[in-house]
Structure 1
Amino acid sequence: MKSQSQEGYYGNYGGSFIPEILVPAIHEITREFEAVKQEPSFWQQYCDLLSGYSGRPTPLTYADRLTEHFGRAKIYIKREDLNHSGAHKLNNALGQALLAKRMNKTRLIAETGAGQHGVATATVAAKLGMQATIYMGREDMERQYANVFWMKRLGAEVVPVDYGTRTLKDAINEAFRDWVSSFETTHYVLGTASGPHPFPALVAYFQNIIGIEARDQMLGLEGRLPSRVYACVGGGSNALGVFQAFFPDPEVELVGVEAGGQGPNSGKHAVRIAYGQGKPGIAQGYKTLFLQDRDGQMTDTYSVAAGLDYTGVSPILADLSEQGRVRFTAATDEEVVRTLQLVMRKEGIIPALESTHAFAGALQDIAESSSSDIFLINMSGRGDKDIFNIAEGLRDEEWTEFIHRKHTQYAK
């Protein structure tokens, strides 16, 4: 990866474009982040909590039946779904919460799309005795209400965002508005590797544990590195988490899979790089590739997976794409639903809709592979949160009847 400049740029992307009032808060985070990177005791504290509380290391599962089904590359799955709270998001939330405690903050705020980052933030706030406020677009709340329920039960305040597309982009805007007026007591646990410096580096740092484990596990199981590593890409946290450990290995191809929605010409997708539709711009505190109109206004995005429904992408990944180190592709909703059914039936595993994009990207390439290849897929989260969306996508009539019965029962 190209070295980061002092201003937090990665090639042409990154930086910190923030209101003057937030400069002290950003400087404080940057200072403390640089300090903890030099303190082995902080990393050890972090790893101890991941081990004793979150259940790391997560396993690397050989998908033997899926491999046999295609008769091509061997397929391995990095099981972030088995991380406490059901996704990779806890890695970052826990690390940032420890950093917040170090800075004597008493409150955490966060944005969330699919809800997994919100649950992770609410979880660590409860564990560490802190307050939590989670901003979530109303559209995403409707799609992921199970996660809203758990955030509230964990003691967090969940604030709906009712303007714009009412999705992740708008939730980030509201979280920044809160932070402007509360940063003296509050830390913003930004959930993805985007936003103003140092957040991209900060999130990537805490998510790096995924790739560190996966690399060691692959060498232990196969005695070699994988041919390709696949990860879904919304903002970029899980992708950078698994990719970083393989940056020094040019023989390992890194593949990011974006949310193709209803296809490249539909206007209903969230693909910044693979379709070539993302344009450089500055928003939400940083410069990257955004989906935007001719006037530079951010355009609406869409995906069956709420966690991938974002208009921008990590500046680190935008730079890696330009370097040619990460190849980007996209999977449509239709491909994702079809792939989800296959993975469930063949492996007895239910990936999140976000993670299923990574599986779909790998299966796009499977025909050109051979038995000497190894595909590693980062399964960033589990799919029980998506039961309503999955049932709708599968047009499951029994599920629809069940919902109607429950509605009638509660209406009485």
Structure 2
Amino acid sequence: MCDMQVVLATLNEAGQSMGTQAQERFVASTLDGCETAVLFALARQECLGGDWDAALATQGFGHKVGEVVGGENVLVLFARSATDCEILDSFAVSSNHQGVGRHGGVVAVVRCRNTRLCICGFHLDGNMRGTQARTSLLPACVAKAWSRVGHLDVALCVGDGNCTIDPEKGFSDDIECLRLLAADMETLRSSVKKDTMVELSAETREMLQLHLSKFDTRAALMRVADGSPEALAIDAAAWTHHVCSSVDHSDGLDCGISELKLVPMPPGSFPTYRLSDNSQSFDALVEYSGDPDREMQSLDPLMDASSSFVESAYFTDKKAGIIKKRGDMVRMNLGWVDRLYYGVCQGSSTHVSFEQGPARLVRASSGRAMDHSLMTWTASFK
């Protein structure tokens, strides 16, 4: 039996919003069985309005602990009891030096009973070249939080990391579709064009769709080519990141959390991005699953799907299933990007474990499908 639970959710809304009934059903199903949950943390990216207060209140989480806003990023926190949780500090940061906008982090340091949590909602800049540069924001946010409030027991970072499928990671495993994808990406990389999107070659597209349709090959693809780093060090580089001011590191504080670890997804998980946003992805899943729900569908990682479903879900809008080039950055618009990282203070007696909820495909109130899966995790503390 755990002492308490914290539920975390993330959704890149792409300027759309879920319907009220869908919100309420999602919250009810997510909290089902979470009797010891004291806090619900929702990270929203590309958020242009709307709230979740009513949906959380219907499930007994009527106390809004607080909300941190940074550009289009929002972290909103709800508690079951007004006495269980309080915000000790909060701030917003940008992925670059140009001010808080679409990409960045929103951070709250929260006391949950006797545990001090650093909770970060993030949307990393996919146009940054290199995974290290892109993900460096997360260690910096935790280091900054530590410098501002002192001791932290656990850090929880949830959001859109924009670390898409990386064919070079899986090259040695001789997966044919990764070899083809790497060749397509190299062709675009050598192009003189600096800002463009191109479709995959017909051979690459067909092979990738076949790999994504079956559990075994999808699991193998994810195992070797998941672009999200398994660990992010919180070291001296974090203190010199642009989000940390001279005040943050001038006194030489050492962060007691030395690294952030990626919470692995279940084998065979479908990519969380980019889902076709023209409603074809949703309609295809309704037809394939047999579930008549017209607002929310679960993507079962064990599911074997048809190539036609995969094509409808991931390759039928102008940004889905393509390769993007922005300056020196080249990446595939496909991957397991909506993720959770965590870190525990060295020497702490706190133990935390995670259970991921089902990845959900959501139809927005506009009728269009959202292009990211709605992801949830339950963190159990002992």
The two structures share one fold, judged by TM-score above 0.5: no
Q: TM-score, normalised by structure 2?
A: 0.30
Q: Which has more helix, going by share of residues?
A: 1
Q: TM-score, normalised by structure 1?
A: 0.28
Q: Which has more strand, going by share of residues?
A: 2
